[in-house]
Amino acid sequence: MVTIGLQTFNRANTYLKAAVDSILAQTHKDFELVISDNASTDNTEEVCREYTKKDLRVKYIRQKINIGYVAHVNFLRTQVKGEYFLGACDDDLFKPTFLEKCVARLEDNPEAIMTGTNFIEFNDKWSTSPHDPKKFFPNEKDLYRRLKRYTLFYESDGKEMFIYCAVWRREAVVNDFFIDYFVKYPYNWDFQDMNFIFRGLSKGRFEFVDEVLFLKRAWPDSFDPPVKKSPPRRIFNTLVYSRLKRFFTPFFYKRMGQIVKIKELSLWERAKLIFWTFFVMGRLFWRKKI
Protein backbone atom coordinates (compact mmCIF):
# COMPACT_ATOMS: atom_id res chain seq x y z
CA MET A 1 0.00 0.00 0.00
CA VAL A 2 2.84 2.45 0.84
CA THR A 3 6.23 3.01 -0.79
CA ILE A 4 8.75 4.61 1.58
CA GLY A 5 11.73 6.12 -0.21
CA LEU A 6 14.72 6.69 2.08
CA GLN A 7 17.74 8.58 0.79
CA THR A 8 21.06 8.03 2.54
CA PHE A 9 24.71 9.04 2.30
CA ASN A 10 27.50 8.12 4.75
CA ARG A 11 25.27 7.68 7.81
CA ALA A 12 25.96 4.00 8.51
CA ASN A 13 27.88 4.75 11.70
CA THR A 14 25.60 7.48 13.02
CA TYR A 15 21.85 7.71 12.37
CA LEU A 16 20.92 5.29 9.57
CA LYS A 17 20.09 2.26 11.72
CA ALA A 18 17.83 4.24 14.04
CA ALA A 19 16.00 5.75 11.05
CA VAL A 20 15.44 2.37 9.38
CA ASP A 21 14.44 0.72 12.66
CA SER A 22 11.80 3.39 13.28
CA ILE A 23 10.30 2.65 9.86
CA LEU A 24 10.33 -1.13 10.24
CA ALA A 25 8.65 -0.76 13.65
CA GLN A 26 5.52 0.80 12.11
CA THR A 27 2.21 -0.70 13.23
CA HIS A 28 0.99 -0.41 9.62
CA LYS A 29 2.82 -3.31 7.98
CA ASP A 30 1.77 -3.04 4.33
CA PHE A 31 4.70 -1.09 2.91
CA GLU A 32 7.97 -1.43 1.04
CA LEU A 33 11.10 0.46 2.06
CA VAL A 34 13.32 1.52 -0.83
CA ILE A 35 16.74 2.66 0.42
CA SER A 36 18.74 4.61 -2.15
CA ASP A 37 22.42 4.97 -1.26
CA ASN A 38 23.97 8.00 -2.93
CA ALA A 39 27.40 6.32 -3.45
CA SER A 40 28.38 6.30 0.22
CA THR A 41 32.06 5.75 1.04
CA ASP A 42 31.46 4.18 4.47
CA ASN A 43 29.86 0.77 5.21
CA THR A 44 26.33 1.88 4.29
CA GLU A 45 26.03 -0.88 1.69
CA GLU A 46 26.88 -3.57 4.24
CA VAL A 47 24.35 -2.22 6.75
CA CYS A 48 21.57 -1.96 4.15
CA ARG A 49 22.15 -5.42 2.71
CA GLU A 50 21.81 -6.85 6.21
CA TYR A 51 18.38 -5.23 6.43
CA THR A 52 17.34 -6.77 3.10
CA LYS A 53 18.18 -10.21 4.51
CA LYS A 54 16.19 -9.62 7.69
CA ASP A 55 13.08 -8.04 6.15
CA LEU A 56 11.73 -8.76 2.67
CA ARG A 57 10.04 -5.36 2.57
CA VAL A 58 13.45 -3.66 2.30
CA LYS A 59 14.94 -2.98 -1.15
CA TYR A 60 18.45 -1.54 -1.47
CA ILE A 61 19.70 0.46 -4.47
CA ARG A 62 23.22 1.86 -4.69
CA GLN A 63 23.94 4.77 -7.01
CA LYS A 64 27.15 4.33 -9.02
CA ILE A 65 28.15 7.95 -8.41
CA ASN A 66 26.86 10.66 -6.11
CA ILE A 67 24.05 12.24 -8.13
CA GLY A 68 23.34 15.12 -5.73
CA TYR A 69 20.35 15.93 -3.53
CA VAL A 70 17.78 16.93 -6.15
CA ALA A 71 18.44 14.04 -8.54
CA HIS A 72 18.34 11.67 -5.57
CA VAL A 73 14.90 12.94 -4.54
CA ASN A 74 13.67 12.60 -8.12
CA PHE A 75 15.08 9.08 -8.43
CA LEU A 76 13.14 7.85 -5.40
CA ARG A 77 9.92 9.16 -6.91
CA THR A 78 10.46 6.91 -9.91
CA GLN A 79 10.43 3.91 -7.56
CA VAL A 80 6.89 4.41 -6.21
CA LYS A 81 4.76 1.29 -6.61
CA GLY A 82 2.31 1.73 -3.74
CA GLU A 83 -0.87 3.77 -3.55
CA TYR A 84 0.88 6.18 -1.20
CA PHE A 85 4.40 7.59 -0.83
CA LEU A 86 6.49 8.72 2.13
CA GLY A 87 9.85 10.40 1.55
CA ALA A 88 12.28 9.75 4.41
CA CYS A 89 15.77 10.92 5.37
CA ASP A 90 18.48 8.81 6.96
CA ASP A 91 18.62 10.76 10.22
CA ASP A 92 14.92 11.32 11.05
CA LEU A 93 12.64 9.18 13.22
CA PHE A 94 9.00 8.09 12.99
CA LYS A 95 6.85 7.00 15.89
CA PRO A 96 5.27 3.55 15.44
CA THR A 97 1.75 4.75 14.58
CA PHE A 98 2.83 7.34 12.00
CA LEU A 99 1.91 5.31 8.92
CA GLU A 100 -1.19 3.79 10.47
CA LYS A 101 -2.77 7.13 11.29
CA CYS A 102 -1.77 8.89 8.06
CA VAL A 103 -3.00 6.07 5.83
CA ALA A 104 -6.26 5.75 7.76
CA ARG A 105 -6.94 9.48 7.32
CA LEU A 106 -6.32 9.24 3.57
CA GLU A 107 -8.54 6.18 3.28
CA ASP A 108 -11.35 8.03 5.09
CA ASN A 109 -10.91 11.21 3.00
CA PRO A 110 -10.53 10.27 -0.68
CA GLU A 111 -10.56 13.95 -1.72
CA ALA A 112 -7.39 14.64 0.32
CA ILE A 113 -4.04 14.49 -1.50
CA MET A 114 -1.85 14.23 1.61
CA THR A 115 -1.94 13.62 5.35
CA GLY A 116 0.74 15.04 7.64
CA THR A 117 1.41 15.03 11.37
CA ASN A 118 2.81 17.38 13.95
CA PHE A 119 6.53 17.15 14.66
CA ILE A 120 9.43 18.29 16.78
CA GLU A 121 12.99 19.13 15.78
CA PHE A 122 15.84 17.70 17.81
CA ASN A 123 19.51 16.85 17.98
CA ASP A 124 21.87 15.50 20.63
CA LYS A 125 21.67 18.73 22.68
CA TRP A 126 18.09 19.95 22.55
CA SER A 127 14.59 19.48 21.16
CA THR A 128 11.83 21.91 20.31
CA SER A 129 8.23 21.88 21.50
CA PRO A 130 5.56 20.68 19.05
CA HIS A 131 4.95 23.29 16.36
CA ASP A 132 1.73 25.29 16.16
CA PRO A 133 -0.40 23.92 13.28
CA LYS A 134 -1.96 27.35 12.81
CA LYS A 135 1.46 28.54 11.61
CA PHE A 136 2.25 25.81 9.08
CA PHE A 137 -0.86 23.79 8.21
CA PRO A 138 -3.35 25.20 5.65
CA ASN A 139 -6.66 23.51 6.53
CA GLU A 140 -9.02 25.53 4.29
CA LYS A 141 -11.19 23.58 1.85
CA ASP A 142 -11.37 26.55 -0.52
CA LEU A 143 -8.49 26.40 -3.02
CA TYR A 144 -7.62 30.10 -3.09
CA ARG A 145 -7.75 30.48 0.68
CA ARG A 146 -5.46 27.54 1.38
CA LEU A 147 -2.94 28.66 -1.26
CA LYS A 148 -2.91 32.19 0.12
CA ARG A 149 -2.48 30.97 3.67
CA TYR A 150 0.39 28.67 2.75
CA THR A 151 2.07 31.50 0.83
CA LEU A 152 2.00 33.74 3.90
CA PHE A 153 3.32 31.14 6.34
CA TYR A 154 6.94 31.51 7.44
CA GLU A 155 9.52 28.91 6.46
CA SER A 156 10.87 28.85 10.02
CA ASP A 157 7.48 27.72 11.39
CA GLY A 158 7.68 24.43 9.50
CA LYS A 159 5.86 25.05 6.22
CA GLU A 160 8.38 22.86 4.36
CA MET A 161 8.08 19.88 6.74
CA PHE A 162 5.36 18.12 4.76
CA ILE A 163 8.10 16.84 2.49
CA TYR A 164 9.16 14.64 5.43
CA CYS A 165 6.27 14.20 7.88
CA ALA A 166 3.49 13.36 5.41
CA VAL A 167 2.10 10.51 3.36
CA TRP A 168 1.15 11.54 -0.18
CA ARG A 169 -1.08 9.91 -2.75
CA ARG A 170 0.93 8.35 -5.53
CA GLU A 171 -0.43 10.63 -8.24
CA ALA A 172 0.85 13.70 -6.38
CA VAL A 173 4.51 12.66 -6.56
CA VAL A 174 5.27 10.31 -9.47
CA ASN A 175 5.24 13.01 -12.16
CA ASP A 176 6.37 15.96 -10.03
CA PHE A 177 10.14 16.35 -10.17
CA PHE A 178 12.46 18.98 -8.76
CA ILE A 179 14.72 21.05 -11.02
CA ASP A 180 18.34 21.25 -9.88
CA TYR A 181 19.19 24.90 -9.20
CA PHE A 182 21.26 24.00 -6.13
CA VAL A 183 24.72 24.74 -7.53
CA LYS A 184 23.88 28.28 -8.62
CA TYR A 185 21.42 29.08 -5.81
CA PRO A 186 22.63 27.39 -2.61
CA TYR A 187 19.40 28.01 -0.65
CA ASN A 188 17.16 26.65 -3.35
CA TRP A 189 16.71 23.04 -2.23
CA ASP A 190 14.50 24.24 0.66
CA PHE A 191 12.51 26.36 -1.76
CA GLN A 192 11.98 23.37 -4.04
CA ASP A 193 10.27 21.66 -1.11
CA MET A 194 7.87 24.53 -0.57
CA ASN A 195 6.99 24.82 -4.25
CA PHE A 196 6.27 21.09 -4.36
CA ILE A 197 3.94 21.43 -1.36
CA PHE A 198 2.28 24.43 -3.02
CA ARG A 199 1.65 22.34 -6.14
CA GLY A 200 0.20 19.63 -3.93
CA LEU A 201 -2.19 22.11 -2.36
CA SER A 202 -3.40 23.04 -5.82
CA LYS A 203 -4.27 19.38 -6.50
CA GLY A 204 -6.27 18.73 -3.34
CA ARG A 205 -6.67 19.58 0.31
CA PHE A 206 -4.49 18.28 3.12
CA GLU A 207 -5.43 16.24 6.17
CA PHE A 208 -3.63 16.62 9.49
CA VAL A 209 -3.02 14.39 12.52
CA ASP A 210 -2.32 16.70 15.45
CA GLU A 211 0.04 14.34 17.22
CA VAL A 212 3.83 14.43 17.32
CA LEU A 213 4.56 11.34 15.24
CA PHE A 214 7.67 12.62 13.45
CA LEU A 215 11.04 13.73 14.83
CA LYS A 216 13.15 15.84 12.48
CA ARG A 217 16.87 15.84 13.25
CA ALA A 218 18.27 19.36 12.99
CA TRP A 219 21.77 20.72 12.64
CA PRO A 220 23.43 21.09 16.07
CA ASP A 221 23.61 24.89 15.88
CA SER A 222 20.20 25.49 14.28
CA PHE A 223 18.80 27.40 17.25
CA ASP A 224 21.99 28.22 19.13
CA PRO A 225 22.48 31.96 19.78
CA PRO A 226 25.54 33.62 18.19
CA VAL A 227 28.51 33.69 20.53
CA LYS A 228 30.38 36.65 19.06
CA LYS A 229 29.32 39.85 17.38
CA SER A 230 29.62 39.72 13.62
CA PRO A 231 32.26 41.83 11.89
CA PRO A 232 31.01 44.54 9.50
CA ARG A 233 31.39 42.37 6.38
CA ARG A 234 29.33 39.57 7.91
CA ILE A 235 26.69 42.06 9.03
CA PHE A 236 26.47 43.33 5.44
CA ASN A 237 26.21 39.77 4.09
CA THR A 238 23.45 38.95 6.58
CA LEU A 239 21.43 42.14 6.15
CA VAL A 240 21.79 42.75 2.43
CA TYR A 241 23.55 40.14 0.31
CA SER A 242 21.77 37.03 1.65
CA ARG A 243 18.38 38.74 1.21
CA LEU A 244 19.14 39.73 -2.37
CA LYS A 245 20.40 36.22 -3.11
CA ARG A 246 17.10 34.76 -1.95
CA PHE A 247 15.16 37.47 -3.75
CA PHE A 248 16.64 36.49 -7.10
CA THR A 249 16.42 32.68 -6.80
CA PRO A 250 14.00 30.97 -9.21
CA PHE A 251 11.72 30.13 -6.24
CA PHE A 252 9.42 33.13 -6.50
CA TYR A 253 9.23 33.16 -10.27
CA LYS A 254 8.54 29.43 -10.46
CA ARG A 255 5.79 29.99 -7.90
CA MET A 256 4.21 32.67 -10.06
CA GLY A 257 4.36 30.32 -13.05
CA GLN A 258 2.57 27.69 -10.99
CA ILE A 259 -0.14 30.14 -10.02
CA VAL A 260 -0.83 31.14 -13.62
CA LYS A 261 -1.40 27.48 -14.56
CA ILE A 262 -4.02 26.76 -11.87
CA LYS A 263 -7.16 26.84 -14.03
CA GLU A 264 -9.43 26.11 -11.08
CA LEU A 265 -8.75 29.67 -9.85
CA SER A 266 -10.33 32.73 -11.42
CA LEU A 267 -8.08 35.30 -13.07
CA TRP A 268 -8.68 37.63 -10.13
CA GLU A 269 -7.67 34.94 -7.62
CA ARG A 270 -4.51 34.20 -9.58
CA ALA A 271 -3.67 37.90 -9.68
CA LYS A 272 -4.14 38.15 -5.91
CA LEU A 273 -1.88 35.14 -5.27
CA ILE A 274 0.83 36.71 -7.43
CA PHE A 275 0.44 39.89 -5.36
CA TRP A 276 0.89 37.90 -2.12
CA THR A 277 3.98 36.29 -3.62
CA PHE A 278 5.44 39.76 -4.27
CA PHE A 279 4.50 40.65 -0.70
CA VAL A 280 6.53 37.72 0.63
CA MET A 281 9.46 38.80 -1.57
CA GLY A 282 9.31 42.25 0.00
CA ARG A 283 8.99 40.75 3.46
CA LEU A 284 12.49 39.33 3.10
CA PHE A 285 13.90 42.81 3.56
CA TRP A 286 12.62 43.22 7.09
CA ARG A 287 12.43 39.63 8.34
CA LYS A 288 14.75 37.60 6.08
CA LYS A 289 12.20 34.80 6.15
CA ILE A 290 10.08 33.37 3.38
pLDDT digits (tens, 9 = 90+) for 36-70: 999 999 999 999 999 999 999 999 999 999 988 88
Measured between alpha carbons, how far is 4 from 16 in angstroms, rounded to an integer?
Answer: 15
Residue-wise pLDDT for 195-205, tens only, equals 899 999 999 99
CATH of domain 2-226: 3.90.550.10
In sequence order, the β-bridge partners of residue 35 are 6, 60
Element (DSSP H or E) covering residue 89: strand 84-89
Contacts of 275 (CB under 8 A, 6+ apart): none
Percent of residues in the chain assigned helix, strand, coil, to nearest 5: 45, 20, 35
The domain limits of the chain are: 2-226
Q: What is the pTM of this model?
A: 0.86
